[in-house]
């Protein structure tokens, strides 16, 4: 019993800290908790002796499971402030869910190094966007026509579910680049996270448990990590949303971008065999 507690205590403590940070950032920056959960869980699992190929699958699957309740909490908070664009969601949901189905299929059969590499590239792109375009002007005066919007929604769904992140990581910069109000982009992207994570999490729960995965698995999802993270992400997401409505988060975003650069580079190097 003591050996079991000793083995799992670092994981549980790490997940509790991850939950605090992920929930806060999900509400504050609209980046989706998965962009924090995936790299942290990925490196913790490797520190426990889990193979990197298995670690990335477990990390992304568990992240999707966590994003479901986090998104619900975040959507409720943003809806109360009138920051969820339901008209846009009605136009985008089918395109996004189609991308989610395709991305889930790819993630179930792709090599783990591909998933890690895609995560690394997206993390670096998000970091570059934060650091190089903090107050840049939009690249377009408004959203494109419906086919272009469908492509945006589908790509957000495809890549987000594949690497276990919420809709805000890609959705917010895409919307704001089209001259979309930032607070409304954050609130609307919170619902994107639910559209992405719910079907993605179901697929991962039904998937075969990877050989060599840690204890406490259901499908590809680690229930111990899920149960440790969820209460804190649900609690912190509304706190982040409240802070985000009142504060200029530019400095916090820059610190977060540095975290993304470090995590993204490490994951990309591992994916490339470095």
Cα 254 from Cα 129, distance rounded (Å):
10
Residue 221 pairs in a beta bridge with: 218
80 with 71: CB under 8 angstroms? Answer: no
Handedness of CA 262, 228, 27, 141 (dihedral sign): positive
265 with 122: CB under 8 angstroms? Answer: no
What pLDDT, in 10s, does the model give residues 61-77? 999 999 888 788 788 88
State the alpha helices, DSSP H only, in 30-51.
34-47
Could you please report the per-residue DSSP string of 195-208? HHHHHHHHHHHHSP
Higher pLDDT, 9 or 201: 201
Q: What is the pTM assigned to this prediction? A: 0.86
What pLDDT, in 10s, does the model give residues 16-56? 777 777 777 766 765 657 888 898 888 888 888 889 999 99
Structure tokens at 197: 């994570």
Flag whether pLDDT at 257 surpasses 80. Answer: yes
């Amino acid at each position: 019993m003591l050996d079991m507690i000793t083995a799992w205590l670092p994981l549980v403590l790490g997940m509790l800290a991850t939950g605090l940070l992920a929930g806060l950032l999900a509400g504050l920056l609209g980046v989706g908790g998965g962009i924090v959960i995936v790299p942290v869980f990925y490196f913790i699992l490797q520190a426990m002796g889990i193979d990197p190929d298995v670690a990335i699958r477990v990390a992304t699957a568990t992240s999707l499971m966590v994003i479901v309740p986090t998104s619900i909490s975040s959507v409720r908070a943003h809806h109360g402030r009138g920051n969820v664009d339901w008209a846009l969601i009605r136009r985008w949901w089918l395109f996004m869910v189609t991308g989610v189905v395709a991305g889930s299929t790819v993630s179930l059969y792709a090599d783990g190094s591909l998933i890690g590499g895609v995560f690394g590239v997206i993390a670096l792109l998000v970091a570059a966007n934060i650091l190089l375009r903090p107050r840049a002007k939009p690249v377009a005066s408004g959203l494109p026509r419906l086919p272009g919007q469908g492509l945006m929604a589908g790509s957000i769904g495809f890549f987000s579910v594949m690497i276990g992140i919420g809709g805000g990581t890609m959705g917010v910069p895409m919307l704001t680049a089209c001259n979309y109000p930032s607070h409304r982009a954050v609130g609307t992207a919170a619902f994107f996270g639910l559209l992405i994570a719910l079907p993605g999490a179901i697929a991962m729960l039904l998937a075969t448990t990877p050989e060599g995965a840690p204890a406490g698995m259901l499908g590809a999802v680690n229930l111990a990590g899920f149960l440790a993270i969820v209460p804190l992400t649900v609690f912190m997401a509304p706190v982040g949303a409240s802070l985000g409505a009142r504060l200029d988060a530019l400095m916090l975003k820059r610190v977060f971008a540095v975290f993304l650069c470090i995590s993204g580079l490490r994951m990309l190097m591992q994916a490339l065999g470095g």
